[in-house]
Amino acid sequence: RSDIKKISYQVDTIQNEYDKIYTNLKDLQTDNRHILTAYKSIFNPERLVKVNKSYFKSFTLSKISGHSQDGEFAVYEVNTSSLIESPQGFYDFLDGVNKSDNIIGVNFPIDFKRDGNLIKSSFTMHVYIASAKKKMEDVEIEE
């Protein structure tokens, strides 16, 4: 009887700890839903240009290097140059990047040069894409 009580107490303690961790996991998944979705999305350079072209007078995207493995992510590096009317357009672009369907890092330095009434900007972005192997593991886990 004493052994049963000890084991029952241990089971209850472990169950309570599990419930706390599970609740925390669900809260984190809810709070970071956008990031988790971005992690699983496929990067489309044409869509990125189309969505963000409204922030700039001219917006071009050129690939510097292909996919390179960086741990669990394939890193897609792009070099961007653009013409904007004011710095506010660039800040609006950064806000849009934060809300995009991909995980994108805008890297420093960001080069701004005056060109008549416009501002010419040049910067590098990294788009982080989950590697194919990692995506397959995620699909298996969800099923």
pLDDT tens column, 9-19: 999 999 999 99
DSSP state of 43: P
Q: Which residue has the higher pLDDT, 77 or 88?
A: 88
Considering only CA atoms, which of 119, 118, 90 is closest in space to residue 106? 90
User: Cα separation of 34 and 31, whole Å?
Assistant: 8
Whether residue 136 is predicted with pLDDT greater than 50 in this model: the reply is no
Q: How far apart are the first and last CA of the chain?
A: 41
The answer to whether residue 41 scores a pLDDT higher than 50 is: yes
Cβ pair 101, 37 in contact under 8 A: yes
pTM over 0.95: no
Closest CA to 35 of 116, 107, 130: 130
| pLDDT value at 47 more than 50 | yes
The region of weakest confidence among 25-29, 55-59, 113-117, 132-136 is 132-136
Mean pLDDT along residues 92-114: 80
What whole-number distance in Å separates Cα of residue 31 and Cα of residue 46? Answer: 29
